[in-house]
Chain A
Amino acid sequence: MPSKSLIRWNGKRADALDEIVNAHAMVGGTERARRFATQQINYAFTALLSSQFQGFCRDLHSECIDQIVSIIPDQLQGFLRLELIWNRSLSRGNPHPGAIGSDFNRLGLDFWAGVYALDSRNQRRRELLQELIEWRNAIAHQDFDPVALGGNFNLHLARVKVWRSSVDSLARFFDRAMYNYLHGLLKVTLW
């Protein structure tokens, strides 16, 4: 059974992303005008994809904390809750791989190692997530560094769709990695 966070990712969050894809398809006008408009939509899609994925990761992190905390005595739960979200990177910044790893590692596992163990293609997906975040930052700050972005400032829908597919897979593997870890640790039915 998937986590509540994954259900939300596949539902409300996917719907929001689909709306951008639909907007892209509906853009009309001359070829030049359309190219400009779709470029802006691709930028918006990239920023939204990053923010929705951040939301998923943060949800999953909170969901895992609630699972862990629920098995300890009531009077101790507050301390642990406070400690586990203290200075959480996913509450403040982008869901870059380092931030995700450091936040989830604080729950007691080697997060990325667990994700790689489930599917070796997750290493490539992690690289694509990093690429998505670099583009997201370039768009948000209007600072297009040719070195970081591979020398090409044109962002095509196909590329954003590759990122989306990658983070969609990562979401499923994050969910599974945390399920496996918490189920082994807590010995309770999860989610």
Chain B
Amino acid sequence: MPEPRFRKHDQVRFRFGTRTIQGEVKEDRGPIGVKGRRLYLVEFSFESQPESPSLIELPAEELQSVPAAVSSE
């Protein structure tokens, strides 16, 4: 069984059509994907519609981790 690679609130990037989109992990759905791959529920918004977030479930291998921003203060 694949180990969790992301946690809730992690920032991730993924391909969507021709673009790369950034989103936030909302839930680890567990190893319920094809051949037991782990799925994650990710929330994201299109730049032009930040007030209307969307949800998508993606396998771990389609997600890239986004390093947390370091505060300059």
Contact = CB atoms under 8 A, between A and B. Distances in A.
A170 B56 CA distance: 27
A5 B32 contact: yes
Contacts of A62: 29, 32-33, 39, 57
A91 B53 CA distance: 15
Contact of A67 (B29, B30, B34): B34
Given A62-B39, A66-B39, A81 B56 contact: yes
Nearest to A63: B32
A19 B39 CA distance: 28
A4 B55 contact: no
B4 interface: no
Interface residues of A, number: 20
* B interface residue count range (under 10 / 10 to 19 / 20 to 34 / 35 or more): 20 to 34
Contacts of B59: 66
A176 interface: no
Contacts of A184: none
Kindly name the residue among A5, A67, A79, A81 whose own CB sees the greatest number of chain B CB atoms within 10 A: A81
Given A4-B31, A66-B59, A86 B54 contact: yes
Interface of A: 3-5, 8, 59, 62-63, 65-67, 70, 74-75, 78-79, 81-82, 85-86, 91
22 contacts: A3-B32, A4-B30, A4-B31, A4-B32, A4-B33, A4-B36, A62-B29, A62-B32, A63-B33, A66-B33, A74-B15, A75-B17, A75-B18, A78-B14, A78-B17, A79-B17, A82-B55, A85-B55, A85-B56, A85-B57, A86-B54, A91-B55
